[in-house]
A and B are shown apart, each in its own frame.
Chain A
């Protein structure tokens, strides 16, 4: 079942075309990867799907489908603890605060939730952002470079939790530059190049994907 469908998306910044007649669709209960060169338009595509940017074309999704977004750069208020940030994210999304759930999830990441979030390291900030997003239980989760700066154990746990989310019927889209990492976790990988999705890889090996990308570029 299709959860989100973007058709003929055009997005320009002045004279520069970022997305040009891009079409892509995502199905329920799948993990999608998105790869592309720097400046290819991955974040722009996410912003269009979230409705945060004006664009030409159509993005179709059902009214009851909720989307959560984890940006590449985390932002936290100063003087606010990790726990308070999570509580804010939950309440802003209309959820009740469940301490046991927060505690259970934090067993994976071991974050000092009672410390100010701005004092966290880059990886810890990523983990906190990921935790708040996961607790919101959105139907579609968009993760922009989620593994950057995260330690090995953190990455392994993130992957485990992403798979769990998929098994619960949620859809996840992950953008990353690490094809091997995406290949391990994703059901399908899209390659964004020349302003559109050039190819969707489903069963190819990492080597085949890399060769194919090199051929296209």
Chain B
């Protein structure tokens, strides 16, 4: 079974994953906090139990799937139990075994809601940003509140951090959905629609943060840089999905965007570099989907 598993995952990936697992376990062993190991295991077991999709399928095959899940979580707990045993934290070992027994009986928490959040002020037809707002829109008021607090206490840094987080969150949340490329009639239409969508929505969405920044900084240059950087960030996040589908590469690219965004805020060269990256993506999209738009 182990051989089959390793063969399915692949040798290199297996080594990579084992390496990551070793590093995580090493850090857990070194951490002084006695709740760390059991806390990490609890989070892992709960999230696995929440997002697993085979529960109904297992119910069709066996009468007591909870028992099977228990065995699965028990196997998963082995490295954590070993680490806790090495640290002689026997209470935590007991807690983890309790988690193994109890978690399979937890029901999935319903996170999908069916009520529609109306967003009539946003660009009609731009579904990427509508999706993004519905995904993370509830966090944005928290960041605005953080910015207001920064203004009230004359702490410019808090306002800046909140603005940067606001931009990053808004842009990154657009990276998730599978892009619907075949609906675009031409490359020109693709460009026009995406630029219009970001150009219309972004200033509207970041207006509260810009006002807070202008108020706290007493200058227009920093808010403008943040807005320009945010515009480039949003465009890059929109376009990268069309050229990259591998999640690991996507993660690397997003990390690059964050770095480029921060650089754009600090220097004009950052903005130029960001624009070049976007131009490369657009060139890639033009080449990749040429077959769709050649007529």
Contact = CB atoms under 8 A, between A and B. Distances in A.
Answer yes or no: do A and B interact.
yes
Interface of A: 50-52, 54, 61, 63, 65-66, 69, 75, 77-81, 84-85, 87-94, 97, 114-116, 119
Contacts of A77: 127, 131, 177, 180
Bin the interface of chain B by size: 20 to 34
Contact of B125 (A66, A78, A87, A119): A87
B184 interface: yes
Contact of B130 (A75, A79, A93, A119): A79
Nearest to A118: B112
A81 B118 CA distance: 10
A191 B90 CA distance: 71
Given A92-B125, A92-B190, 17 more contacts: A51-B295, A65-B295, A77-B127, A77-B131, A78-B177, A79-B117, A80-B127, A84-B124, A84-B127, A84-B130, A87-B125, A89-B183, A91-B124, A91-B125, A97-B124, A97-B125, A114-B116
B133 to A, nearest CB: 9
Contact of B291 (A52, A84, A90): A52
29 contacts: A50-B292, A51-B291, A51-B292, A52-B291, A63-B295, A75-B178, A77-B180, A79-B117, A79-B130, A79-B134, A79-B135, A80-B127, A80-B130, A80-B131, A84-B124, A84-B130, A87-B124, A88-B125, A88-B180, A88-B183, A89-B183, A91-B193, A92-B193, A93-B184, A94-B186, A94-B189, A97-B124, A114-B116, A115-B116
A216 B147 CA distance: 73
A187 to B, nearest CB: 25
A65 B177 CA distance: 30
Interface string B17-49: 000000000000000000000000000000000
B203 interface: no
A97 B116 CA distance: 21
B180 A75 contact: yes
Interface of B: 114, 116-117, 124-127, 130-131, 134-135, 177-178, 180, 182-186, 189-190, 193, 291-292, 294-295
Contacts of A97: 124-125
A63 B185 CA distance: 12
Contacts of B185: 66, 92-94
A115 B125 CA distance: 16
B127 A88 contact: yes
Contacts of B131: 77-80
A126 B294 CA distance: 28
A60 B292 CA distance: 14
Nearest to B137: A79
A94 B183 CA distance: 10
Residue from A77, A85, A92, A97 having most chain B Cβ neighbours under 10 A = A92
B140 to A, nearest CB: 15
A54 B292 CA distance: 11
B84 to A, nearest CB: 39
A90 B127 CA distance: 12
A26 B114 CA distance: 43
Nearest to B290: A51
A115 B114 contact: yes
A115 to B, nearest CB: 6
A69 B114 contact: no
A92 B134 CA distance: 21
Contacts of B186: 94
Contacts of B126: 88, 91
A51 B294 CA distance: 9
B286 to A, nearest CB: 15
Nearest to A97: B124
A92 B114 contact: no
